[in-house]
Amino acid sequence: MNSKNMVIWDLDSTLIDTDAIFENAQKNVISRLSKELSSLSININPDSEDEIDQLRAVDYEGIKLRGHTAYDYPYELPLSLLYIYLMRGEINDKYAAAWMASKGKELADEVGKEYLERLNETPKKFTGIEKVLEESAKRNYNILLTEYFENREKQYRKIKENKIEDYFDKIIAAENKNKIAIMAAIEYGKLENEIEDKEFKLIFIDDRSKYLEIAKSIYPFCITVNVLFRKKEIFGESSSKIDYTAKNVSELEDIIKMI
């Protein structure tokens, strides 16, 4: 098997449409908050792309503060948004502070719990992705590397319900997809297949350029593929270490065949 390339695949937003789950849940958060704030003459359009972009920007700041994408408390994102929305209104700071204390926290907790429930839904695989995986399995040693934080079973459920486990030679669930986890996945594949560096071709496929950059730092000759099925990368990260970008499943299939 050492004549094959090694391909390390991401799961969320690469093979399965996790973004669709997030988008629906995010729109619901904005919709719920907008209804409550209408009594304060604060008007928010849940269907506005600007509102969604702002929510994601706020969410990203929270991720940077926490150091992970999971939420420590259900109310975190809705409460942050409530603060921003109240600042838009023509109400004084004292009333806004009192409203947040008497109503805002309870509302944020309620909306946040519903948000997390929606995020727990299982995303569906992208249409046509099985064909891409089948093509890769013919010529490559496929590793699926996914991060689970505190919910390993949720990740395995996504894999099982989408029936994609058979396309992989190895499935690795790491608590965090950091440099150590990525390095371990690479070394596992090399040892399993008795691969020497001189005959080693690694392809790393992910929707986040952050992880592609880590892979490049470990193995500079790594071929990186950024799966960008949405308009832009959700976290707005650097693209300096990207060799190929796939904007749809068909482009991803072409890249797999080419490399």
Per-residue confidence of the chain (259 residues) as pLDDT tens digits?
A: 445 789 999 999 999 999 999 999 999 999 999 999 998 999 999 889 999 999 999 998 998 898 777 889 999 999 999 999 999 888 898 999 999 999 999 999 999 999 999 999 999 999 999 999 999 999 999 999 999 877 899 999 999 999 999 999 999 999 989 999 999 999 999 898 887 766 678 999 999 999 999 999 999 999 999 999 976 665 656 566 799 999 999 999 999 999 8
Where is the domain boundary, 119, 134, 168? 119
23 near 71, Cβ under 8 Å? no
173 near 149, Cβ under 8 Å? no
Q: Are residues 191 and 248 in the same domain?
A: yes
Q: Are residues 212 and 239 in the same domain?
A: yes
Into how many domains does the chain fold?
2
Among candidates 12, 5, 68, which has minimal Cα distance to 204? 5
Instruction: Supply angle C-alpha 100, 56, 19, rounded to 5.
Output: 125
Among candidates 215, 223, 235, which has minimal Cα distance to 13? 235
Range of the domain at 87: 19-119
Q: Are residues 74 and 134 in the same domain?
A: no
Cα→Cα distances 45→34, 38, 42, 85, 125, Å: 7, 11, 10, 11, 30
Q: Are residues 132 and 88 in the same domain?
A: no
Q: Are residues 253 and 215 in the same domain?
A: yes
**Model pTM score:** 0.86
Where is the domain boundary, 85, 119, 153? 119
